[in-house]
Structure 1
Amino acid sequence: MLAVTTTALLATGAATSAATPSPQPAAPAASSTAETPVERLIVGYKSRAAEAASDSAADKDAQAKGKKAGESVGFDRRLGTGAALLDLGGKLDEGEASDVMEAFRADPDVAYVVPDTRMYATAVSPNDTEYSRQWDLFESTAGMNVPAAWDKATGQGVKVAVIDTGYVAHSDLAANVVSGYDFISDPFIAQDGGGRDGNAADPGDWMDRGECGVDEAGLPVPGQDIDNSWHGTHVAGTIAAAADNGKGVVGIAHDATIQPVRVLGKCGGMTSDIIDAITWASGGSVQGVANNPYPADVINMSLGGEGGCDSGTQSAINAAVGRGTTIVVAAGNDNANAAYFNPASCSNVITVAASDRQGNRAYYSNYGTVVDITAPGGETSPSSSNGILSTLNSGSRSVGSENYVAYQGTSMAAPHIAGLAALMVDANPSLTPAQIESTIKSKARTLPGSCSGGCGAGLADAGAALGAGGGTPTGSNVFRNTADVSIPDNGSWVTSSVSVTGRSGNAPSSLKIDVDIKHTYRGDLIIEIVAPNGSSARLKEASGDSTANLLTTYTVDASGVAANGTWKLRVSDVYSGDTGYIDSWGLTF
């Protein structure tokens, strides 16, 4: 018999349905967060609504709902996902903003409404600027076994977008950097004299004490003066610093290209800008911005904010993954459950926790079931030699000279996985994001130290992931069907078959079923797997999820049936108004 053991183990490994987002969890009781004023809302309209395509209709709707809630609301701009960004006419407290949001939620034409929230870089400041060894790449205890992968791939031809603070010039990276974009729309945050433009240069993100407001206790944010982090440049160096140039550090995918996409500045960055950055970096269109000439194979986001994944960000991620982009995100540095953080808790991303030099979960690293994998993030106390060394700049309040500094954080762990993903794409360009995630997890090794709370599949191993076939199960291990099968609207079941041969005995207790379905409203879909003996298991139920497309991996216990024979993926669309097709699917033994 078949039994679903992990329902919708997505490209992230999140044990929740791909079609039904899990409810956003309440913040842990021990967490004390500020009541942040809300200035803008992100509203996603259903495709049938006039407001989904017309800016004037969206503006009219915003004004009407604002009037109903007693607030001034107007259309600001259209995001790359098609969602509307609405201006609340000033800063509203959470109660006032909630009244406006309720007016939208009551509208059946509205798919979601979320506040435009602020996110921050997820590095932890270092103690020292000297660091002579990249233990994170090669040490046997807790390194990522990267040199073992370099005889198979170096990232040649792979494009990696770093959605972060931008890029400050560094000779150890210059040869691998292509032009990017600055998506920061608020000149105060941008700190470069303007808003959005085609220059992703990082002018610095320094902050004076209290410059970003106050917390719920009335204490200034930040609590002390903070110098420039040059965070995006540090992340970029871990991924693709040049090799064999006689200086500095070497990146994991040192022949890949880096595209800096700027979203973080003074006091962090806004969700709306990050949504557009994800869309543009992955090859989607953003109003008023020329299309990206270097659409990313991999996106790294070493950033995050409190709260579960919002629908606007999830929509942008789903669309990007649907375009074939693998998205890697940091789990966060609060020593808390990553399910309470965004985008760490989003589906269709690879969420990365951080380990120290001994292979323990780093003391600051977030944890939990949404974590997919762990990678070296370092601990710079008491010695910077235990941190992650990468490219940086010495300027504290302006651009200074280039240097190298050891940082710690899940921000440092995530680019290890982004670099590994780039190696895998180099070795096998046909890999899907789901296959990349699945392989990284299946080839991970047990953490040599301790992990409380959950560290995903273990410590990533680049050499193992770049094994035979360049990072994905091949030959007799994977069986696929890439023929398109149309799914009739509100119609009968359709099936797509895969013939399995050459396997002895029964199927495994953790049979992986990766599914790629293109559909305009994936909540309409019911999906089942049918074994050669006719037994079946329900993989997905229908739901109200209005997101387009489904790219995910399910896990079933198939140990009770023979492996050889014809396996079928069975799909039905149970509601009218939307269409799609099975793009491809496969079985990994």
Structure 2
Amino acid sequence: MSNNTRKLRLRGIVAATSLALAAQAAFAAGAQPAPRVDLSAIASGTQFDRFIVKYKAGTPEATNPGELNRSLQAAAVGANQMVQASRLQRGERAAPGKSLGASHVRRMSLGADVVATTHKLSAAEAETMMRQIAANPNVEYVQIDRVMTHMLTPNDTRYAEQWGYTDADAGIRANTAWDVANGSGIIVAVLDTGYVAHSDLAANIVAGYDFITNATTAGDGGGRDSDASDPGDFSGGNPSSWHGTHVAGTIAAVTNNAKGVAGTAWGAKVMPVRVLGRGGGSTSDIADAIIWSSGGAVSGVPTLSAANAADVINMSLGGGGSCDATTQAAINSAVSRGTTVVVAAGNSNANASGFTPASCNNVVNVASVTSASARSSFSNFGTLIDVSAPGSGILSTLNAGTAGPGAESYASYNGTSMASPHVAGAVALVQSRRLALGLAMYTPAQVEAQLKSTAYALAGACSGGCGAGIINARALVDAAGGGSTPPPPTGTTTYSNTADYQIRDNVTVDSPITVSGRSGNAPSNASVAVNIVHTYRGDLRVDLVAPDGSLYNISNRAGGSADNLVGTYTINLSTEALNGTWKLRVNDNAAGDVGYINSWSIRF
């Protein structure tokens, strides 16, 4: 049976004021929940001209282009009036010839719309524009279409060996894992700058796609197309990084070919998906790329078959601000199709909670360590870190061109961008081991849990938190199975999920546990233990969701202003089958306090 088969089977100001007020009055009809205005990407000193707006399903703006444009123009008129009035209050002249306008760029695969303004706006002006858009109650959310960049710190020093695989107290122990698995049958999508030809990588590259819509950012003379080649991302006086090729080499450089470097999962294939160009890449392009590479549908782009979709996505990229709704929805979509998403924590020596996609749920968030088994000085940290991996002085495939492609080369880079592909490669190793054993591949939640449970502690310092520790590829593949099949569990068994799931204002989050190999129904006295960290537990509704979707309430906005919800609850589940995916669902119903699901378990 082929691996693909196995995967398929197992896997004027007055006039302006009048118009603006009339628009707001029309929008104000009927009391409705305020839409979410996501200001997390707003930073002073930065200018903005692209936004993502999501209208509620079934509303006129969501179904009629004319209504959408009318809504945008009304918002632009209102914002322009407020901006000009603010300038007059400060004693400044109104800006001549710069009346603000807004236009629809495209609809995303998530159903949200990319919107552009006629000129760049300051942080305050961008916020005004967003709030004017959100004055329409048909808006579900509005956010900046933020620009993300790759997460590396270039280093001119070339290292003579790849310490990250073999170092006794800081390596991922890939060299011993290769005795068991090499990544065969697994596809890893690298959402990055694309791929520049390299003889030590070419044999492991499969067809990808270029998702950059902006021609200036793309720098290759066109918009979206099937050519994921990297023409160079030189910008602002900085030379081309060939970042995507460096990341790809760490994942799956050709090995045992008497040249160059080895890849973590050298039997796997890399799918280059170009989302970063000159100056970075937009959230809207990256979100579409996440969906497409995992097998989802994106308008205008051929959908991948299940056999050709990525099993793992690596994103060694990011930007400031907490996870936005668009990125989170795209990640959730990929995870729902069984694709594990691995991301770089970021290189700001700061808490990862302030960066995207590092602060998103349903990702494996990776910090960087040095060969001294300590946190790299640049690496982000915090409770949202899942695991760590080598990211300082990482040698991989590159190109010598400073602008366009030149001669192929090798170089060492530093960054969480380099740590993340070590983990993505390890995920490929364990999933290939599952395939080789004829077992179903792990779900993304199971992958995260296994990475954590098999990691080992740093020998050196990690101020701020480095997750469960450094990944251990050999222990990971050993834990994938292959011994005698254990008998189905009998008696009472406890099932746990210790992964952290962020709880943000006015959102719902699920933490899953999959039960298999059992028979019959759950008992009338099932025990559910909950550990939720939150600064105002009265905001929270907490439910147990059975595999058939039935809800069993645990807490309904009880506890007032007290912190955290920690306890064990007895629930009658006698009408529910044991096998299936159980979920702890937390709904935050207010603004101002956030937290996370620390862990939970169900015992029956």
Classify the TM-score, shorter chain. 0.7 to 0.9
Aligned to 2:325: 311
Q: CA deviation at 1:170?
A: 0.4
Superposed displacement of residue 297, structure 1: 0.8
- Structure 1 436/253 Cα, relative in aligned 2: closer, same or farther at 3 Å? same
Q: CA deviation at 1:132?
A: 2.2
Secondary structure of the corresponding residue to residue 164 of structure 2: helix
8 Å Cα contact 1:152-1:470 kept in structure 2: no
Deviation at 1:50, TM superposition (A): 3.7
| CA separation of 1:442 and 1:474: change in aligned 2, threshold 3 A | farther
Which residue of the partner structure matches residue 68 of structure 2?
Answer: 58
Task: Tell me the equivalent position of 2:342.
Answer: 328
Q: How far apart are the structure 2 equivalents of 1:344 and 1:420?
A: 19
Residue 465 (structure 2) aligns with: 454
Aligned-residue CA RMSD (Å): 3.9
* Gap change, CA 1:53 and 1:275, over 3 Å in 2: farther
The letter of the residue matching 1:418 is: A
Which residue does 1:6 correspond to in 2?
A: none
Say whether residues 1:501 and 2:490 are aligned partners: yes
Q: Provide the residue aligned with 1:45 in structure 2.
A: 55
1:439 aligned to which of 440, 446, 450: 450
1:145-164 pair list within 5 angstroms: 145-164=173-192
Going from structure 1 to structure 2, the CA distance change for 1:158 and 1:468 (only over 3 Å counts) comes to same
Measured in 1, the distance between the counterparts of 2:414 and 2:191 equals 18
Q: Any idea what the Cα deviations from partners look like across 1:159-208, whole Å, max 9, x if unmatched? A: 1110000000001111111111111112221111222221111111112x
1:573 & 1:366 partners in 2: Cα distance? 27
**Residue 471 and residue 90 in structure 1: after superposition, are their counterparts in 2 closer, same or farther (change >3 A)?**
farther
Distance in 2 (alpha carbons) for counterparts of 1:453 and 1:572: 28
2:258 paired with 1:206: no
Q: CA deviation at 1:472?
A: 13
Q: Does 1:177 align with 2:205?
A: yes
Give, in angstroms, the shift of residue 100 of structure 1: 2.1
Q: Is the 8 A contact 2:205 2:270 kept in 1?
A: yes
What's the counterpart of residue 216 of structure 1?
none
Q: Against the structure 1 CA distance between its residues 573 and 302, is the aligned structure 2 distance closer, same or farther, given a 3 Å change threshold? A: closer
Cα–Cα, structure 1 residues 570 and 200, in superposed 2: closer, same or farther, change >3 Å? closer
Which stretch has the larger CA shift, 291-300 or 360-369?
A: 291-300
- The answer to whether the Cα contact below 8 Å between 2:247 and 2:418 also exists between their aligned partners in 1 is yes
Please tell me whether residue 228 in structure 1 is matched to residue 240 in structure 2: yes
1:338 counterpart = 2:352? yes
Q: Is the 8 A contact 1:24 1:308 kept in 2?
A: no
AA matched with 2:274 = R
Report the secondary structure of 1:320's partner residue.
helix
- Paired residues, number: 488
Find the aligned partners of 1:571 and 1:374 in 2 and give their Cα distance.
27
Q: Which amino acid aligns with 1:448?
A: A
**Pair 1:419–1:573, CA change in 2 (3 A):** closer
Q: Which amino acid aligns with 2:422?
A: H
Deviation at 1:96, TM superposition (A): 1.9
Q: Secondary structure at the match of 1:152?
A: coil
Amino acid at match of 2:73: Q
Q: Which residue of 2 aligns with 1:288?
A: 300
Which of 357, 382, 400 is the equivalent residue of 1:394? Answer: 400
Superposed CA offset, 1:422-457 (max 9, x none): 112212243110100111011111111110001111
Distance of aligned partners of 1:522 and 1:48 in 2 relative to their CA distance in 1, 3 Å threshold: farther
Alpha-carbon distance, 1:35 to partner: 2.4
Match of 1:361 in 2: 375
Change in 2 beyond 3 A, CA 1:587/1:133: farther
**Structure-1 residue corresponding to 2:363:** 349
Give the drift of 1:33.
5.8
Query: Is the contact made by 1:117 and 1:271 (CA closer than 8 Å) also made in structure 2?
Result: yes
Q: How many percent identity over aligned positions? A: 46
Change (3 A) 1:205 1:514: closer
Deviates more, 1:467-476 or 1:157-166: 467-476
Match for residue 256 of structure 1? 268
Structure 2 counterparts to residues 50-199 of structure 1, below 5 A: 50-70=60-80, 71-128=100-157, 130-199=158-227
Tell me if the contact between 1:465 and 1:472 (Cα under 8 Å) persists in the aligned partners. no
Give SS of 1:67's match: helix
Q: Is the 8 A contact 1:160 1:258 kept in 2?
A: yes
Distance 1:432 1:392 in 2: 32
Matched residue SS, 1:249: coil
Q: In structure 1, what is the Cα distance between the partners aligned to 2:484 and 2:376?
A: 31
**CA distance in structure 2 between the aligned counterparts of 1:33 and 1:65, rounded to whole angstroms:** 21
Q: Within 5 Å, which residues of 2 pair with 1:9-28? A: none
Q: State the AA in 1 paired with 2:359.
A: S
Match of 1:468 in 2: 479
Q: Which of 274, 277, 281 in structure 2 is aligned with 1:269? A: 281
Preserved CA contact (<8 Å) 2:497 2:512: no
Query: Whose RCO is larger (CA < 8 A, sep 6+)?
Result: 1
Structure 1 portions without partners, runs of 5+: 1-21, 212-224, 379-386, 480-499, 544-549, 551-555, 575-584
Give the deviation of 1:408 after TM superposition: 1.0
Shift of 1:404: 1.1
Poorly superposed stretches of 4+, deviation over 6 Å: 22-27, 471-474, 513-516, 524-532, 556-561, 565-568, 570-574, 585-589
Gap change, CA 1:588 and 1:189, over 3 Å in 2: farther
Q: One-letter code of the match for 1:308?
A: S
> Per the alignment, do residues 237 and 528 of structure 1 end up closer, same or farther by CA in structure 2, a change over 3 Å counting?
closer
- CA distance, structure 2, for counterparts of residue 303 and residue 202 of structure 1: 16
Work out which of the two has the higher radius of gyration on C-alpha atoms and give 1 or 2.
2
Q: Is the CA contact (8 Å cut-off) linking 2:37 and 2:143 kept in structure 1? A: no
Partner of 2:13: none
Could you list the per-position Cα deviations for residues 46-96 of structure 1 after superposition, in whole angstroms to 9, with x for gaps in the alignment? 334343344444333322333333342221101121111111122122222
Which of 494, 497, 511 in structure 2 is aligned with 1:512?
A: 497
Structure 2 unaligned segments of length 5 or more: list them. Answer: 1-35, 81-99, 435-439, 515-521, 533-539, 543-548, 550-564, 588-599
TM (norm. structure 2) is 0.73
In the alignment, is the contact (CA less than 8 A) between 1:158 and 1:425 conserved in 2? yes
Post-superposition Cα deviations, 1:9-61, rounded to whole Å, max 9, x if no partner, equal xxxxxxxxxxxxx998979xxxx965221111101223343433444443333
Q: TM-score, normalised by structure 1?
A: 0.75
